[in-house]
Amino acid sequence: MDWAPHTYEPRPWRQRVARGPRADRLVREIEVSLPPYVSGLDLPLDRALSAMTTASAGDLSHLDLVHGRTLRALDHLQLRTEAVDSSKIENVDASLADYGRALLGVGANASAVSMASATAALRRMIRDADTTRSIRPEAILRAHHELFRRNPAEAHRAGTFRTTQNWVGGSDWSPLGALHVPPPPETVPGYLDDLFAYANRDDVPAVVQAAVVHAQFESIHPFIDGNGRIGRALIHAVLRRRRATRHLTVPIASALVAHRERYFAALGDYRAGTAATLVAMLATAVRIATAESWTTATRLHEIRESWGDAVGGSRPGTTVHRVLDLLTEAPIVNPASVAERVDVPEAEAAAVIDRLTTAKVLRRAPRSRRAPVWLADAVLDEVAGLSTRIQESSRRMREH
In order, the DSSP letters of 293-360 are HHHHHHHHHHHHHHHHHHTT---TTSHHHHHHHHHHH--EE-HHHHHHHHT--HHHHHHHHHHHHHTT
Question: For residue 387, with 0-12 CB atoms within 10 Å meaning exposed, 13-18 middle and 19 or more buried, which class applies?
Answer: buried
Model confidence at 15, pLDDT cuts 50, 70, 90, reads very low
Q: Is position 396 within any domain?
A: no
Helix (H) or strand (E) holding 368: none
Check whether residue 226 and residue 329 sit in a common domain.
Answer: no
Check whether residue 179 and residue 127 sit in a common domain.
Answer: yes
Nearest residue to 128 via CA among 243, 247, 240, 242:
240
Check whether residue 178 and residue 72 sit in a common domain.
Answer: yes
CATH code, domain carrying 269: 1.10.3290.10
The neighbour count for residue 60, using CB atoms within 10 Å, is 23
Check whether residue 248 and residue 165 sit in a common domain.
Answer: yes
Choose between 27 and 243: higher pLDDT: 243
Is the pLDDT score of 19 beyond 50? no
- Contact at 8 Å (CB) between 255 and 394? yes
CATH code, domain carrying 352: 1.10.10.10
Look over the chain and give the mean of its residue pLDDT values, rounded to a whole number.
Answer: 89
Q: Is position 301 within any domain?
A: no
Alpha-carbon span 113 to 133, nearest angstrom: 30
Instruction: Quick: pLDDT tens for 349-398.
Output: 999 999 999 999 999 988 767 778 999 999 999 989 999 999 999 998 87
Check whether residue 365 and residue 249 sit in a common domain.
Answer: no
Q: Is position 397 within any domain?
A: no
Nearest residue to 77 via CA among 281, 295, 261, 287:
295
Is the pLDDT score of 321 beyond 50? yes
Model confidence at 160, pLDDT cuts 50, 70, 90, reads very high
Distance linking the first and last C-alpha atoms of the chain = 38
Whole-number pLDDT of residue 4: 35
Check whether residue 381 and residue 238 sit in a common domain.
Answer: no
- Range of the structural domain that residue 324 is part of: 309-386
Whole-number pLDDT of residue 1: 33
Instruction: Quick: pLDDT tens for 175-214.
Output: 777 888 899 999 999 999 999 999 999 999 999 999 999 9
The neighbour count for residue 56, using CB atoms within 10 Å, is 24
Check whether residue 284 and residue 355 sit in a common domain.
Answer: no
Check whether residue 268 and residue 369 sit in a common domain.
Answer: no
State residue 116 phi and psi, 5-degree precision: -65, -40
Whole-number pLDDT of residue 36: 93
> How many residues can be counted in the chain?
400
Check whether residue 211 and residue 67 sit in a common domain.
Answer: yes
Q: Is position 100 within any domain?
A: yes
Last residue of a domain, one of 294, 317, 349: 294
Task: Compute the chain's Rg from CA coordinates.
Answer: 22
Q: Is position 282 within any domain?
A: yes
302-307 mean pLDDT: 96
Q: How many CA atoms lie within 13 Å of 333's alpha carbon, on the beta-carbon side? A: 31
Task: Report CA-CA distances (Å) from 13 to 23, 30, 35.
Answer: 18, 8, 11
Is the pLDDT score of 314 beyond 70? yes
Last residue of a domain, one of 244, 263, 294: 294
Model confidence at 339, pLDDT cuts 50, 70, 90, reads very high
Q: Is the pTM of this model over 0.85?
A: yes
State residue 380 phi and psi, 5-degree precision: -60, -40
Last residue of a domain, one of 267, 294, 321: 294
Whole-number pLDDT of residue 33: 83
Q: Is position 299 within any domain?
A: no
Q: Of the given ranges (12-21, 220-229, 260-269, 283-292), which has the lowest mean pLDDT?
A: 12-21
Q: Provide the number of structural domains found in the chain.
A: 2
- Contact at 8 Å (CB) between 371 and 101? yes
Nearest residue to 256 via CA among 379, 125, 398:
398
Whole-number pLDDT of residue 368: 65
Check whether residue 166 and residue 19 sit in a common domain.
Answer: yes
Instruction: Quick: pLDDT tens for 65-86.
Output: 999 887 878 888 898 899 999 9
Q: Is position 378 within any domain?
A: yes
Check whether residue 51 and residue 148 sit in a common domain.
Answer: yes
Check whether residue 241 and residue 340 sit in a common domain.
Answer: no
Pick left, alpha or beta for residue 35 (phi over 0 → left; psi -120 to 50 → alpha; otherwise beta).
Answer: beta
Q: Is position 45 within any domain?
A: yes
The neighbour count for residue 312, using CB atoms within 10 Å, is 8
